[in-house]
């Protein structure tokens, strides 16, 4: 039989696009972040391409990096709160998965569990939670703190946070609600489960006052690449989003995460790994290169520096010569894995500081591909077939044009090679991703009791 394994694709969208100067493109949606109509159009385009999911990046703070002059040139300063936006998008989509980033560092697990369970019900089982530990240090200032929580402490809290949330999502059995008007019985109390969690960080009684969803519970996505991040991914994630720009490193990451699953009682069938890909596609290679160079030409130096500072969590880079070497720096308390990835690339390719800014302006540590649909699919197929990916989180440079290019040119080539669906397989996000519906944690106890 032919190999019927299919790629899984997410559309990873920022307000105006992934590129730091995306909003300056003449055809870009510069009002993204304030216009629901534009957000809805992007979601419909992703669903037209039969993407598995729309993936919203988020941060609960305005970046403090860069000068006032540089921040005044940035097009990603305001954004919709993601749960509000995705709830609205359920009304204009029918199959597209809806994944929101929400931090464990400055949130409460009961509130988050309730929000995502509600989105899962409203959407008919299409919700996903991108579990993150905040890497934007400015978020601390908006949540009653004078400094950011330390890296190790963020992950310790995140592991317990995820345990509480998934436990709350099991508050009700699938058939708990009888709603029998004749007998007057609304639900079976034996099928309601109280969590009663008490741990280092949280005390949460439960149960959740939202019913179990059609897909059992929202899909859990996680994006940490450090050792603690990989272990958290192996423990709780069903989709793993990762920044990798080299095939060998991506394959090592994939194998490492999969190897860690057994220690948490999990199998490879329960997890998909989706590296980020930043594709610039043209009908010819020259056209694709022209598109790439044009966006790069729109980057103001102060913006390039400020965005690099934000990406690696290190300030004060404007003090160094723009065309001099990348300075040495210690580990950040912000996005540690991304800092190491970019600094390693700078050393490997002997970049100047400005060259690193340009390198970071679009992909930000993810896989950059520039070329024709066939050239881009060659790279994707290599990673997919040779042990580095189960699919990709596609990061359009600017919206809506770069996403439309991918849907209209790359998707047909993927289908021609038998690598991607022509129609959705199911109605829930789990069905389309090929992930199993998770049993309730209470189910084994019930089976033993019987």
pLDDT of residue 61: 67
Least confident of 58-67, 168-177, 305-314: 58-67
Given a cut of 80, whether residue 377 has pLDDT beyond it is yes
Over residues 231-242, the mean pLDDT reads 94
What range defines the domain where residue 158 resides?
8-173+196-291+364-436
Q: What is the pLDDT of residue 373?
A: 98
Tokens found for residue 75: 């097009």
Task: Determine the pLDDT at residue 142.
Answer: 67
Q: Please compute the mean of the pLDDT values over residues 289-312 and round it to a whole number.
A: 91
The answer to whether 211 touches 176, Cβ cutoff 8 Å, is yes
How does the average pLDDT of the chain come out, rounded? 90
Residue 306 lies in a domain: no
Q: Measured between alpha carbons, how far is 22 from 38 in angstroms, rounded to an integer?
A: 15
| SS3 at position 98 | strand
Weakest-pLDDT range from 209-213, 303-307, 429-433: 303-307
CA atoms 114, 116, 120, 122: torsion sign:
positive
pLDDT of amino acid 335: 64
Residue 297 lies in a domain: no
141 within a domain of the structure (yes/no): yes
Residue 169: inside a domain: yes
The per-residue pLDDT for 135 is 63
How much is the pLDDT for 320? 92
- Tell me, yes or no, whether 86 lies in a domain: yes
Number of compact structural domains in the chain: 1
Average pLDDT on 146-162 reads 79
Q: With 80 as the cut, is the pLDDT of residue 201 above it? A: yes
Confidence band for 314, pLDDT divided at 50, 70 and 90: confident
Between 175 and 4, whose confidence is greater? 175
- Which whole number is the average pLDDT over 31-51? 95
Residue 449: pLDDT band by 50, 70, 90 thresholds? Answer: very low
Q: Which residue has the higher pLDDT, 337 or 363?
A: 363
- 92-140 pLDDT per residue, tens: 999 999 999 988 887 899 999 999 999 999 999 999 999 987 666 667 6
- Assess whether pLDDT exceeds 60 at residue 170: yes
pLDDT given for residue 323 in this prediction: 92
Residue 279 clears pLDDT 90, i.e. is over it = yes
**Banded pLDDT at 446 (limits 50, 70, 90):** very low
Mean pLDDT of 263-277: 96
Residue 332 has pLDDT above 50, yes or no: yes
The answer to whether the Cα torsion of 100, 103, 104, 108 is positive or negative is negative
CATH number at residue 68: 3.20.20.30
User: HSE of 118 in the Cβ direction (CA atoms, 13 Å)?
Assistant: 13
Is 319 part of any domain? Answer: no
* Rounded distance between C-alpha atoms, residue 283 and residue 374, angstroms: 10
What pLDDT does 140 receive? Answer: 67
Question: For the residues of 266-310, what is the DSSP string, one character each?
Answer: --GGG-EEEEEEEEEE-SSHHHHHHHHHHHHHT--HHHHHHHHHH
Res 436: pLDDT: 94
30-35 LR contacts (CB < 8 Å, sep 24+) = 30/75, 32/399, 33/76, 33/77, 33/78, 33/79, 33/80, 34/78
pLDDT tens across 42-67, in order? Answer: 999 999 999 999 999 877 767 766 78
The reply to whether 186 falls in a domain is: no
Average pLDDT of 369-388? 98
pLDDT of residue 148: 66
pLDDT at 445: 46
For residue 133, tell me if it sits in a domain.
yes
Give the rounded percent of residues in the chain with a pLDDT score beyond 70: 92
Using alpha carbons, list the distances in angstroms from residue 306 to 6, 63, 300. Answer: 39, 9, 10
Dihedral over Cα of 19, 21, 26, 31: its sign: positive
pLDDT at 37: 96
Q: What is the pLDDT of residues 209-218, one digit of tens each?
A: 999 999 999 9
């Amino acid at each position: 039989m032919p190999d019927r394994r299919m790629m899984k694709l997410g559309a990873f969208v920022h307000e105006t696009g992934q590129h730091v100067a995306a909003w300056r493109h003449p055809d870009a949606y510069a009002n993204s972040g304030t216009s629901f109509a534009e957000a809805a159009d992007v979601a419909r385009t992703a669903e037209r391409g039969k993407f598995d999911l729309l993936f919203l990046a988020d941060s609960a703070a305005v970046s403090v990096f860069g000068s006032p002059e540089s921040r005044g040139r940035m097009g990603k300063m305001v954004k919709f709160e993601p749960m509000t936006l995705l709830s609205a998008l359920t009304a204009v989509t029918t199959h597209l998965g809806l994944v929101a980033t929400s931090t464990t560092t400055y949130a409460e697990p009961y509130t988050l569990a309730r929000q995502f369970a509600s989105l899962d019900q409203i959407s008919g089982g299409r919700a996903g939670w991108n579990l993150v530990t905040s890497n934007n240090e400015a978020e601390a200032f908006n949540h009653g703190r004078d400094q950011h929580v330390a890296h190790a402490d963020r992950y310790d809290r995140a592991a317990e946070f995820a345990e509480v949330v998934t436990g709350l999502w099991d508050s009700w059995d699938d058939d708990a609600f009888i709603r029998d008007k004749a007998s007057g019985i609304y639900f079976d109390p034996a099928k309601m489960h109280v969590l009663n969690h008490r741990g280092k960080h949280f005390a949460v009684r439960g149960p959740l006052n939202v019913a179990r969803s059609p897909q059992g519970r929202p899909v859990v996505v996680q994006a940490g690449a450090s050792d603690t991040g990989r272990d958290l991914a192996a423990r709780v994630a069903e989709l793993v989003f990762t920044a990798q720009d080299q095939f060998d490193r991506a394959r090592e990451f994939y194998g490492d995460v999969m190897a860690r699953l057994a220690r948490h009682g999990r199998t490879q069938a329960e997890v998909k790994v989706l590296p980020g890909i930043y594709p610039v596609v043209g009908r010819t290679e020259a056209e694709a290169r022209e598109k790439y160079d044009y966006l790069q030409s729109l980057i103001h130096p102060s913006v390039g520096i400020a965005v690099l500072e934000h990406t690696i969590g290190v300030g004060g880079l404007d003090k160094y010569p723009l065309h001099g070497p990348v300075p040495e720096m210690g580990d950040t308390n912000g996005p540690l894995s991304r800092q190491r990835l970019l600094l390693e690339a700078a050393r490997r390719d002997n970049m100047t500081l400005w060259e690193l800014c340009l390198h970071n302006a679009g992909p930000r540590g993810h896989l950059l591909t520039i070329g024709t649909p066939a050239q881009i699919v060659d790279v994707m197929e290599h990673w997919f077939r040779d042990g580095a990916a189960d699919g990709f989180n596609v990061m359009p440079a600017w919206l809506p044009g770069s996403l439309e290019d991918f849907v209209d040119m790359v998707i047909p080539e993927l289908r021609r090679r038998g690598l991607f669906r022509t129609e959705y397989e199911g109605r829930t996000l789990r069905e389309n991703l090929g992930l199993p519906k998770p049993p309730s944690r209470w189910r084994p106890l019930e089976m033993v009791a019987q």
